[in-house]
Structure 1
Amino acid sequence: MKIRILGSGAGGGLPQWNCNCLNCRRARHRSGDVLPRTQSSIAVSADGVEWVLVNASPDLLAQLRAQPDLQPARALRDSGIAAVVLTDAQIDHVTGLLMLRERTTPLPIHACAPVFDDLSTGLPLVPLLGHYCGVRMHTIEPGVPFTIAGCAGIRFTAMAVASKPPPYSPRREHASPGDNIALLIEDDASGSRVFYAPGLGGIDADVLGTMRGAQLVLVDGTFWTATEMIELGLSTQRAADMGHLAQCGDDGRPGMIDWLETLPRGTRKVLTHINNTNPVLDPHSVQHARLRAHGIEVAHDGMEFQV
């Protein structure tokens, strides 16, 4: 099973178009070793030919241009994208669907009911795409495994996780199960397992148990501290208010580093969906060094895993 990171940044990417924080300045002017990053998405494949997109970011066209093997060119109009799975209805995870409107067949989308509800009302991408390629909706249920045509041998299971629905959703402050999911991705032949959660506001016993059974864990790396955006004067909200668990603990509660430290030896631990303000983006920072000391990697665009 191949897992490829198409985008590793949080909303806005790196550099963010209107941001002049230190990371954005370095990425924009290619000074230092801070790499630009597009907004978060991964691609999953059993054979390297047919791929499932997990989320479709606004940067999707640039991501596909950077990954030419997702265009197998078997016909005059073709794509290696077999389907899209959505972990939530956040703008930075769904607006790339519009970039797929030139498909010649309806686009298969797998998502939970609350996500389809938001994408049919507050951000009506589903009816909009109905005027172009059309959408084939597959409603998934947390805890119920599902497979995807064109991706034989790989099984997906959604897990409801603590996070936040998008700001435009009527459930913003009262999330329903399925508004935000993590994915357990399993290879039937090898038995290998990948846990993917780009938005994760907290970790409970079920989520931790699933993480402990995975060989590769790709998780929310949005913020270094709970008050990062407040300290920079960029927001009045804490990480938890935006649905994210910071890497560092806060008020006696464990952070992402603490949780990842409990995983079995040999688990590959990678942070993704990294906000442009996060100091770990600088590979020479003390924060990045702390992650390395805990065996935690920082994702970058184009990173690939064979699991």
Structure 2
Amino acid sequence: MASTATPTTTRLATFDRYGPPEVLTVTTAPVPRPGPGEVLVRVRAVSVNGGELALRAGRLRPFSGYRFPKRIGIDLAGEVVEPGNSRFAAGDFVWGLLGRTMGSAAEYVAVPARRLDHVPAGLDAVRAAALPVGTTAITALRDVAALAPGERLLVRGASGGVGYVAVQLGKAMGAHVTGLAGADNLDLVTELGADEAIDYRGPADLGRFDVVLDTVGSALPSFRRVLTPSGRMVAIAFDLDHPLRSLGFIAAHAPRRRRWVRFFSGNPTTPLLAELGRWVRSGALRPQVDRVFPLADIAGAHRALERGGVRGKIVVELP
């Protein structure tokens, strides 16, 4: 439950220069004062996402600039401390995302109420934190790709943070799901419900697919070639080693009526989080936590994700 007295300072993860995981430090700052429409949340857990690694390493400099220190963290699970005029009450267990900003890796965070929802019963903070970015998979498959029952879905990066949700969601939507992952993670992809689990370094001929969900970003032309004539490809990442080439390819194929490729970046609000909760309560989605790190070792959490081979989500706990 929420504390009876809110402290004046909060621990949080920041970095004051671009670089390897070691640039991350845990420092203190005043507890934020929620503004209009915001809720103060005592964060209990966050997950680590690929975009945060790219930001910290300086691979997004054209977008992120050179103003420091920078904060880290996209999603969260925790308890409402100050609900303001929202529909929440103090002590409510909530999950959510900050949208297109970062900073959830902190003990206390002011979050727009429209980016929060109640956590389904039965989930603790660590498992709840492994799911909010799954809203990206919901929108990508349902709204962007319009995945239909009986269609063939290929999930690239099927054991990763968005991919593991996409595999489960694709099955729940009635698709035939093929998941690409590393050899060590094929058992997990099968357990998640994939009809086929294939080593991404394996056979060149994968067959043809109605929908490709790409969470990796590289070699996009090769994966467009596996689309059926009416196929659709949704990329949630682009090639950071060749960003102009990657984004140019997406832009060139986005307007096509057939075999199109479109880029999607999640920006969820409460209705989408509520839908995520309904999928969880129905039993169609379950969290998959790879490892848990304390906030003091957030650099270790980043190193673990960078090494690859992750089975689901890396979670940082703030008890």
TM-score (norm: length of structure 2) = 0.32
Structure with the larger strand share: 2
Structure with the larger helix share: 2
- Pick the structure with greater CA Rg: 2
TM-score (norm: length of structure 1) = 0.33
